[in-house]
Amino acid sequence: MRFCDLAQFMHEKYEVRVNAGEFVAILIDAILDDEALEKDSPNPIYGLKKSTKEAYYSGRLSISQKRAAQIVPRLSEEKFAEFVNDYSMDALDYMRDKLSEFGFDVPSYEVGQACANILAQIIKRRSEGLSDDVTKLNYKRMESGQLLKNIAPASIERRGDKLHIAGEIITINRALVPDNIAEQELDYIRALYEVFAEKLKMETFTSNDVQFLPKSMKANYREQRKAYYSAVSIERSVRDVFDDGEDEFQKLKDDAWDGINTTYWREYPDGYARLNAVLEKITNTSLDGSVLSQMRSLIGNLEKKGICHILVNDGVIESWVSIDD
């Protein structure tokens, strides 16, 4: 993989619209350590002409040996990994697939580390006058094949977007909520639209109507999407890291349904009342059926609410409105 390859697929999923030359400078900024950024003109790419930066981006030119040598002493792979991990989950999956095309088979949670390692190697190679083509990763990989049941759950702790596991640190897939509805959201989103249509006495409700929701309902809608993505980020992270992660998350969902189903089946004036009653119930429910619940700070109230929406996507909850159809 060359610098141009890395820059192009990372640029494609970058959430801020910038041109190719600007993105080249952003990438170098992201791998410079904090001390370097505090100095005057810390990024040697800044002084280049737009055409030169665009040539780096397209692959017509490689980063010059002189510029690369100025960057090497300031490299921070950890900082660049954090930059990459701020991308959305869908973007990380996309970059994982792009890395695979170049022979780098890494799970989504290692995309940040892999991209950082590749860029660092590229810059070091160019500083030595070598080509910028990197073919192997040279960082310590997370051991695969671990089983959650073989690790003391209390020894695993979530701190922000990091899981600390027996001396290892992995990044949880970020729970960034996209502006547009993603395909995997459709079932629970349709169920929410059905709730809003009933509550507002509308024949149909679509994404175009969200902007006209009353303030409280609009806030509720935003919270539900945030909760869904927060839960999905945990589901995907434990699935990627542990061989039995998918099974343990299924136990969590089963336990959640057992805790809320009585509340779900009660009589309510409308689906909106049922939805909120269930969400309130799940936050007061202990999910002890999976070892995931024993991990410190992993499953909070937001994730519990999100599990309810995953149950909709799974078909366990078919509707908040028409429960007897």
Residue 140 placed within a domain: no
Which of 127, 156, 189 corresponds to the end of one domain?
A: 127
Vertex 255: Cα angle to 181 and 159 (nearest 5): 65
- Mark whether 304 and 196 lie in a shared domain: yes
Whether residue 104 is found in the same domain as residue 226: no
Which of 74, 95, 127 finishes a domain?
127
Q: What pLDDT does 149 receive?
A: 66
Identify whether residues 157 and 264 lie together within a single domain: yes
Give the β-pairing of 162-165 and 168-171: antiparallel
Specify whether 104 is located in the same domain as 161.
Answer: no
Q: Which two structure tokens, joined as six digits, stand for 269?
A: 């004036």
Residues 305 and 166 in one domain: yes
Beta strands (DSSP E) in 154-221 are 156-159, 162-165, 168-171
Give yes or no: residues 76 and 21 share one domain: yes
For residue 4, the surrounding DSSP H or E stretch is: helix 3-12
- Residue 319 within a domain: no
Say which residue the tokens 């009353």 belong to. Answer: 214
Residue 137 located in a structural domain: no
Query: Which amino acid is located at 100 in the chain?
Result: S
Count: domains in the chain: 2
Strands 168-171 and 156-159 turn out to be unpaired
182 and 310 part of one domain: yes
Q: 119 and 201 share a domain?
A: no
Q: Is residue 115 part of a domain?
A: yes
Are 106 and 196 in a shared domain? no
**What is the domain range of residue 177?**
148-314
- Reported as a single tens digit per residue, the pLDDT across 266-324 is 999 999 999 999 999 999 999 988 888 888 788 999 999 999 999 999 999 999 998 87
Contact by Cβ (8 Å): 162, 172: yes
Q: Is residue 108 part of a domain?
A: yes
pTM value is 0.69
Q: Is residue 78 part of a domain?
A: yes
- Those residues of the chain that have pLDDT short of 70 are 35-41, 141-154, 166-168, 173-175, 325
Q: Indicate whether 79 and 203 sit together in one domain.
A: no
- Checking phi first, is residue 98 left (phi over 0); if not, alpha (psi -120 to 50) or beta? alpha
**15 and 68 share a domain?**
yes
| Residue 324 forms part of a structural domain | no
Q: Is residue 138 part of a domain?
A: no
Q: 158 is written with which tokens?
A: 């979530």
User: Cα angle vertex 29, ends 24, 34, to 5°?
Assistant: 170
Q: Which of 72, 93, 127 is the last residue of a domain?
A: 127
Q: Do 122 and 170 fall into the same domain?
A: no
